[in-house]
């Protein structure tokens, strides 16, 4: 069985990965059929380059991606998957949460004022 998986490259504590098509029996960093892409999680933002044509070729011929490679393929748009909430929904949710935050802040200010009044009475 062919798998699309990550092959670790790079120096100690500086990992970068190649996305490769390999026989599932071969070791992680062992023999592979073809390099499909590159992934570097250490850069900000991460670097991801995938040869879309070759990835689709292997997937259409029955290659199984690992969980990590599947998530990378979804992020790059090659595989369908959960893309997260639309930006408008996120903005609306933030607006709904804002009044609650204001209420908490007002309550905290009221408690601070009560504490200060109690301190003044004690000093008198």
The 10s digit of each residue's pLDDT in 56-93 is 999 999 999 999 999 999 998 888 876 666 656 555 65
Give the residue among 63, 86, 84, 88 at the shortest CA–CA distance from 74.
84
CATH number for the domain harbouring residue 31 = 3.30.1320.10
Same structural domain, 23 and 62: yes
The domain containing residue 51 runs over which residues?
2-76
| pTM beyond cutoff 0.85 | no
Sign of the C-alpha dihedral computed for residues 16, 56, 81 and 65 taken in this order: negative
Residue scoring higher pLDDT (95 or 40) = 40
- CA–CA dist 52, 81 (Å, integer): 16
Beta strand residue intervals within 31-109, DSSP E = 34-40, 47-50, 64-65
Tally of domains in the chain: 2
**3-state class (DSSP) for residue 64:** strand
Share of the chain above pLDDT 90, in %: 52
Answer whether 19's CB lies under 8 Å from 70's CB.
no
**3-state class (DSSP) for residue 98:** helix
Mean pLDDT of 100-121: 62
């Amino acid at each position: 069985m062919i798998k699309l998986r990550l092959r670790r490259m790079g120096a100690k504590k500086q990992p970068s990965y190649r996305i490769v098509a390999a026989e599932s029996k071969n070791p992680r960093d062992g023999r592979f059929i073809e390099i499909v892409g590159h992934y570097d999680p250490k850069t900000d933002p991460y670097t991801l380059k995938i040869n879309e044509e070759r990835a689709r070729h292997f997937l259409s011929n029955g290659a199984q991606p690992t969980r990590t490679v599947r998530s990378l393929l979804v992020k790059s748009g090659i595989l369908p998957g959960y893309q997260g909430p639309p930006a408008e929904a996120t903005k609306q949710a933030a607006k709904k949460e804002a009044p609650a935050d204001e209420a908490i802040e007002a309550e905290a200010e009221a408690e601070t004022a009560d504490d200060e009044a109690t301190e003044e009475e004690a000093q008198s």
